[in-house]
Structure 1
Amino acid sequence: MLDYGSGNLRSAVRAVERAGAEVTLTGDFDAALNADGLLVPGVGAYAACMAGLRAVKGERIIGRRLAGGRPVLGICVGMQVLFERGVEHGVETEGCDEWPGVVERIQAPVVPHMGWNTVDVPTGSTLFDGIEDERFYFVHSYAVRDWTLETNDRTRPPLVTWAEHGGDRFVAAVENGPLTATQFHPEKSGDAGAALLRNWVQSL
């Protein structure tokens, strides 16, 4: 699990350990690069997370892992930073640019989106295998509301899971080869979240 100064990571570490993995919390470049799987957590502001990530060369670790087909899982803001850029309070911040798209404020009557919600899972999902109809725990004000990556059948298209809050639709999860991410917090999502983490750990 990549430690770049983003919040309390103990609950996430424990959840992944319960999923059957041996977890090392590290900000070390080589350790993060060479792990069987890398989990990138994230809480708080997009710009602050990107600054912390760049301080440990996290964007380079992610890029090099993916170039070698090595699994990465982003959670919450750890998912958002994988996109091209984020806009918060009028401030635009460059992300890791693994996927095109903009992280922006949810257009709903009540923000933040906080609590349990269902998700719309595409056919063939490995991450949601056996938990397609479960609810997951979200806490966020920003999301990717428009999926723009087109593969034109040259590569296998990513599997995109959606959710809706207050009439606004946004990306809840992505499965894209070695790169996987969830907007919700699996470590706070009870049995369903535990099953999702098990699915990811077993895929490593």
Structure 2
Amino acid sequence: MVVLDYGSGNLRSAVRAVERAGARVSLTSDFETALHADGLVVPGVGAYAACMAGLREIKGDRLIGRRLAGGRPVLGICVGMQVLFARGVEHGVETEGCDEWPGVVERLQAPVVPHMGWNTVEVAEGSTLFAGLADERFYFVHSYGVREWSLVTNDRTTAPRVTWAEHGGDRFVAAVENGPLTATQFHPEKSGDAGAALLRNWVATLQRG
């Protein structure tokens, strides 16, 4: 298992959390090591444009695409989820993302932004990631999100399972399960026992694969 090191923060906490979920973890930016790992975790904090610049510097966008083409699992966290979408718009600046999913990351339309703290989620039917966790709360820290989901199906054989959350009356995508590509807007590594259980669920899918 690899946690991808592309200059975005919270890397050590992500490594520790995935290790506690039962995986042996390397923190690396090496393309070949990350390409062939059983699983790849892509954390992310800060600005969308900065995260995309860091990813492109180590060919992380190509790495993600190559892994998914081969059916190799990827987990994106927070901005690491956002960059999987087609584009992000922050402060009037539009940045191209990895375009694994259609959609735009934009500022939340809520009275109080950022959205910071614990929140429940509307778990997608049939979710593996949230097995046993439907009533739990997870920790969010973000001002931007994906507020519309348009993809019904794609070449990953099954329709994506999309989990939603709400802040200040604004709904946004909280997590996606789409074949080998999984992502969460919240931080499982900061979400206590519920986050730990969610990471164990994801690691277990790698072991079954």
> What is the TM-score normalised by the length of structure 1?
0.98
Structure 2 distance, partners of 1:143, 1:68, is 28
Name 1:64's counterpart in structure 2.
66
Structure 1 residue runs without a partner (length 5+): none
From 108, 126, 136, the counterpart of 1:124: 126
Q: What amino acid maps onto 1:125 in structure 2?
A: S
Shift of 1:47: 0.1
**1:152 CA displacement:** 8.4
Structure 1 equivalent of residue 115 of structure 2: 113
Query: Which runs of at least 4 in structure 1 moved beyond 3 Å after TM superposition?
Result: 152-155
1:154 and 1:33 map into 2 onto residues whose CA distance is 18
Partner of residue 12, structure 1: 14
CA shift for structure 1 position 97: 0.1
**1:52 aligned residue (51, 54, 72):** 54
Aligned to 1:148: 150
CA distance in 1, matches of 2:120, 2:112: 17
**Paired letter, 2:160:** P
Paired residue total: 204
Distance change >3 Å, CA 152–CA 71, structure 1 → 2: closer
2-structure distance, mates of 1:8, 1:16: 12
Distance 1:169 1:163 in 2: 6
Matches of residues 48-197 of structure 1 in structure 2 within 5 Å?
A: 48-151=50-153, 155-197=157-199
* Deviation at residue 154 of structure 1 after TM alignment: 9.4
Q: Which amino acid aligns with 2:163?
A: T
Per-residue CA deviation, residues 141-162 of structure 1 (Å, 9 max, x unaligned), is: 0000000112289942100000
> What TM-score results when the alignment is normalised by the length of structure 2?
0.96
| Equivalent of 2:29 in 27, 30, 36 | 27
| Cα distance per residue 1:134-178 (max 9 Å; x no partner) | 000000000000001122899421000000000000000000000
1:53 CA drift (Å): 0.2
Cα 1:152–1:197 change in 2 (3 A) is: closer
Are residues 29 and 113 of structure 1, via their aligned partners in 2, closer, same or farther at CA, if it must alter by over 3 Å? same
Mapped to 1, the partners of 2:141 and 2:12 lie a distance apart of 18
1:158 counterpart letter in structure 2: P
1:38 is aligned to 40
CA deviation string 1:93-142 (max 9, x = no partner): 00000000000000000000000000000111000001111000000000
Distance in 2 of aligned mates of 1:154 and 1:38: 17
**Gap regions ≥5 residues in structure 2:** none
Q: In 2, distance between residues paired with 1:185 and 1:149? A: 24
Cα distance, 1:100–1:194 mapped onto 2, change above 3 Å: same
RMSD over aligned Cα atoms: 1.3
Contact 2:130 2:201 in 1 (8 A): yes
